[in-house]
């Protein structure tokens, strides 16, 4: 029997709703709506019951909903949305309705409550986000393409960067390259950080000119068919000091060990610990202030997390980043970031950009 991604995803959502004894589930979160229905417009509300699936949206999106979300009935919104929502829920005879307190604003939720006073609104946590964690074959292909474009752009930058160009010029060169080689958007604002700027894990790109011997951190990614890539490389321009090489090699060693250790079923906190142990063991305790990695998919940061405090598990089919770093304030930073696909007995590294400490 052939099933569509939407049919499979709705079946999994309905199984989860049945466990929580929900008559319906409501989401207005753009990636969750897209994941469940195929609708990429981002504005509307998706309502799912055991039998029905409805997408409420306004005039701008009527045709788009019909084309992209054939499994969903269109509920036309011509005025305020909450009364339409209430009517659809009444039609579904839905009383216990799951919603997303982490996604809906207090203001909108109050409007929903006022419009449907008979409904028991049940807060849920990461229901669709949980479904999104394990990627199907089509999703893996889209992510592989987003990774491929970012890899190509990084290789281009490694030969293009010369002393005298500014951080902003590098970021623009990366953006143009990705946008003219198949990317539909950037997955986030690129980070290009030279010298001591690199010591800030999420540095702002500036007009600072890159000098010979500067350490660079470049973190960038793009979107292909809705799916994100995330890639970081660090290197010095022209020449590197022995101290830099020591830091760089420690980060690479930590990344290699984590990629070697990651396998399906491993808790994210354990993956983080593999890399952290190497970095702390080399004398950089306190210099790796973020987690090892995060899931990537329709969103640039999604479940699961691999960090000191994570309770997530790296299940087979999960795509996560592996991005250890060392940051020395006033001097420089080194982060090397791959994306990996977690399998039953290991992981497959998707990123192919070369790793070298000097360009």
Judged by the rule CB under 5 A, the positions of this chain that interact with Zn ion are 219, 230, 232, 321, 337
8 A C-beta contact, residue 72 and residue 37: yes
Q: Which is nearer to Zn ion, 144 or 219 (CB)?
A: 219
* Closest to 295 measured CA to CA, from 309, 305, 280: 305
**Contact residues for 19 (Cβ-Cβ < 8 A; gap 6+):** none
Provide the CB-side half-sphere exposure for 84 (13 A, CA). Answer: 18
The token duo for 16 is: 């989860």
* Closest to 211 measured CA to CA, from 200, 201, 197, 231: 197
Q: What H or E segment, with its residue span, contains residue 234?
A: strand 231-236
Closest separation between CB of residue 7 and Zn ion, Å? 32
Closest separation between CB of residue 221 and Zn ion, Å? 6
Closest separation between CB of residue 156 and Zn ion, Å? 18
Q: Which is nearer to Zn ion, 100 or 139 (CB)?
A: 139
The token duo for 129 is: 């986000």
Q: Which is nearer to Zn ion, 8 or 202 (CB)?
A: 202
Distance CA 36, CA 68 (A): 11
Q: Which is nearer to Zn ion, 24 or 320 (CB)?
A: 320
Q: Which is nearer to Zn ion, 50 or 204 (CB)?
A: 204
Q: Tell me the torsion sign for CA atoms 253, 254, 257, 258.
A: negative
Using CA atoms in the order 231, 235, 238, 239, what is the torsion angle rounded to 10 degrees? -170
Distance CA 172, CA 246 (A): 30
Closest separation between CB of residue 314 and Zn ion, Å? 15
Q: Which is nearer to Zn ion, 31 or 337 (CB)?
A: 337
């Amino acid at each position: 029997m052939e099933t569509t991604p939407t049919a499979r995803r709705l079946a999994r959502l309905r199984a989860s709703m049945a466990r929580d004894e929900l008559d319906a589930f409501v989401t207005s979160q753009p990636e969750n709506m897209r994941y469940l229905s195929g609708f990429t417009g981002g504005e509307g509300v998706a309502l799912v019951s055991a039998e029905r699936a409805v997408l409420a949206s306004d005039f701008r999106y009527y045709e788009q909903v019909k084309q992209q979300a054939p499994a969903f009935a269109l509920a036309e919104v011509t005025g305020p949305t909450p009364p339409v929502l209430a009517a659809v829920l009444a039609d579904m005879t839905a009383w216990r309705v799951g919603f997303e307190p982490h996604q809906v604003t207090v203001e909108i939720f109050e409007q929903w409550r006022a419009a449907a006073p008979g409904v028991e609104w049940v807060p849920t946590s990461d229901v669709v986000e949980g479904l999104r964690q394990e990627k199907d074959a089509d999703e893996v292909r889209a992510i592989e393409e987003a990774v491929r474009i970012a890899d190509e752009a990084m290789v281009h930058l490694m030969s293009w960067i010369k002393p005298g160009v500014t951080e902003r010029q590098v970021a623009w060169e990366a953006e143009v390259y990705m946008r003219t080689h198949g990317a539909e958007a950037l997955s986030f604002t690129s980070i290009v950080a030279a010298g001591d700027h690199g010591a800030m894990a999420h540095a702002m790109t500036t007009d600072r000119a890159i000098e010979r011997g500067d350490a660079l951190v470049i973190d960038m990614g793009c979107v292909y068919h809705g799916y994100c890539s995330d890639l970081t490389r660090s290197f010095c321009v022209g020449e590197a000091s022995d101290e830099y090489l020591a830091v760089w090699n420690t980060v690479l060693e930590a990344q290699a060990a984590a990629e070697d250790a990651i396998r399906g079923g491993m808790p994210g906190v354990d993956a983080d610990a593999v890399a952290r142990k190497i970095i702390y063991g080399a004398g950089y305790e306190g210099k790796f202030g973020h987690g090892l990695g995060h899931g990537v998919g329709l969103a640039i940061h999604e479940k699961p997390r691999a960090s000191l405090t994570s309770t997530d598990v790296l299940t087979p089919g999960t795509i996560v980043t592996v991005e250890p770093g060392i940051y020395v304030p006033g001097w420089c930073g080194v982060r090397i970031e791959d994306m990996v696909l977690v399998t039953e007995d290991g992981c497959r590294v998707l990123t192919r950009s070369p790793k070298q400490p000097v360009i």
